[in-house]
Amino acid sequence: MRYGASACGVTNTALRRIRSFACGVVGEMRGRSTFARTALAGYDVGSLMATDPIVQWAKAVWDRLVPSTDRKDSWKRAMVDVATAQRPFQAVVGPAGAMIASALRIGWKVPSPHHLQTANGTTISLYEVAPRDVQLLAIRDLVHLEAKSSSLTTRIGGPPDLVPLKDFLRKKRSPKVAEALRALGEGGWWTQARMYEAGMDGVDSNVCQVCHDQVGTLYHRCCGCPGLKDLEEKAKGCEEVLDKARSALNCDDSLFNTGIPLLQEPGRPPGLVTRWCGGKVVDDPTFTGEVFSDGSVVGGCRKGDERAGWAVVKVDDEGMVIFGVYGTCPDFFPTSLRAELWGVLQALRHAMPPVTIWVDNAGVVDGFGRGRSWCVDSARPAADLWCLVWDKVDDLGGEGIKVVKTKGHATKADVEAGRSTWWHQAGNEHADHFAKRGSALAEDLASTKVSRDGYRLAKKWYQWLEVLICNWPKDTQRRATKARGSRLKRRMRRPASGTDTGEIGRASCRERV
């Protein structure tokens, strides 16, 4: 399906048709959100096709596949023909035009053949940022743009953030729970109040059919009905999130009223900051001999909200730190591999061969074994950092530099079994300690606490909804399959798989939550 996308691009109409087809394979839409279905699926071929021209151009620049003069000439022609066109994709005649039209679609600018400017003003050098990171940035901005224009935005009062729900559904859930939560994210939960407002035949009241006292909204269903008392005793660990949902401060939160939190704008990563450490005073803090390097990533959040740090330490014969350096990872999307490579890079920047760097990441050791060409290829993760590392190795002469694997987080049992030594254990623990201080420093400089807390709160809320789905009695009127008005009647005539009429699960289509 992606054939030709990198050369000609994909128009908006073609993207809509592709996504509609992909969503239809999963099940009938019946008015649900296409954006939500593709987001919860975790794989959106439309996003890949929309960003493919940008990624392929980034690869051409990174791998030097096309002479710079040819790239510049094609960029100039495309800027005249495509960037000024009222319908950019109609003016596309080659890869440069497809790249520019695709960038304009997500709100980016193309100031030069080898620079891109994102919607928030961040400038990306295609010589310095690896194509994989360019793709992640493009998809992130595309998702934010489409979230703001989705049908859910009007219903919940802002762009939806479906990442917590998608991550929650990654773990194995019962078919009933998985179908119900997907339907919630797609806008397919029908409460008594919503069915009454839609004018469904057989629905003559908006009052909850369990307590017969209050309006049957989603908030009432999930945390306001007196019928929840017995269920709360079964839901261990959900007391905190229920207290927050019922508090005056959070009762109007979109998460508790619609089941979906609002999307927040992505923050900027911290800059590169270094700190020296150690318990001994040295005249020349240069790494030579044997040193230990490590990286640390604080995860448990949305992709891009992670904060990471690195560290390099030199220890004496007694396993005590002589001196070292630690700092932050200035990455848009930190990973454990990138954090480890930042540590190795900083070790080389302050090294004098011969030097042996002990790391606990097999990917770093494997990369050094395969050589420069393999590491810096555009298909490799962290190719930009690998390029900096190999440049520094060349600057140092390439001789007398070793990167060796040591067991990470070794225990006393590992030492006794010969899988590590007490000296390597001590060195790795010191490097790990200061790497965590580096990630803490990154969080202090560019905090993602609000986003991280919101992510964790949403996952706790879905944990409570899992209990609710499995045990909640019928709170809607029994027959709710027709609606006043021909258009709405056609939409509600047959329920799609899941909860189009408040019904949970394919296996038990008659059981309402």
According to DSSP, the β-strands at 321-328 and 307-315 are antiparallel
The CA-based angle 391-439-132, given to 5 degrees, is 50
Number of compact structural domains in the chain: 3
Q: Average pLDDT in the 120-149 region?
A: 94
CB of 397 within 8 A of CB of 353? yes
Domain-located, residue 373 = yes
Domain-located, residue 23 = yes
Domain-located, residue 497 = no
User: pLDDT class for 283, splitting at 50, 70, 90?
Assistant: low
On whether both 167 and 145 belong to a single domain, the answer is no
Residue 110 has pLDDT above 90, yes or no: yes
On whether both 434 and 461 belong to a single domain, the answer is no
This prediction has a pTM of: 0.87
On whether both 125 and 256 belong to a single domain, the answer is no
Report the pLDDT value the prediction gives residue 426, as an integer from 0 to 100.
Answer: 95
Residue 188 has pLDDT above 80, yes or no: yes
User: pLDDT class for 267, splitting at 50, 70, 90?
Assistant: confident
User: pLDDT class for 504, splitting at 50, 70, 90?
Assistant: very low
CATH of the domain at 430: 3.30.420.10
321, β-bridge pairs: 315
Q: Look up the domain containing 13 and give its range.
A: 5-149
On whether both 253 and 386 belong to a single domain, the answer is no
Report the pLDDT value the prediction gives residue 476, as an integer from 0 to 100.
Answer: 84
Last residue of one domain, picked from the residues 447, 481, 507: 447
Residue 194 has pLDDT above 50, yes or no: yes
On whether both 459 and 430 belong to a single domain, the answer is no
User: pLDDT class for 480, splitting at 50, 70, 90?
Assistant: very low
- Tell me the pLDDT of the chain averaged across its residues: 88
Last residue of one domain, picked from the residues 89, 123, 149: 149
CB of 357 within 8 A of CB of 314? no
Q: Average pLDDT in the 341-367 region?
A: 96
- Which residue in 268, 234, 150, 171 sits closest to 468, CA to CA? 234
Provide the 10 A C-beta neighbour count for residue 474. Answer: 14
- Using a CB cutoff of 8 Å and minimum separation of 24, what contacts does 118-127 make? 119/144, 119/145, 120/265, 120/266, 120/268, 122/268, 126/57, 126/58, 126/61, 126/62, 127/61, 127/62
Report the pLDDT value the prediction gives residue 500, as an integer from 0 to 100.
Answer: 37
On whether both 302 and 255 belong to a single domain, the answer is no
On whether both 419 and 312 belong to a single domain, the answer is yes
Q: Average pLDDT in the 279-296 region?
A: 85
Residue type, 172: K
Phi, psi of 204 (to 5 degrees): -110, 10
Domain-located, residue 134 = yes
pLDDT digits (tens, 9 = 90+) for 36-78: 999 998 888 889 999 999 999 999 999 998 899 999 999 999 9
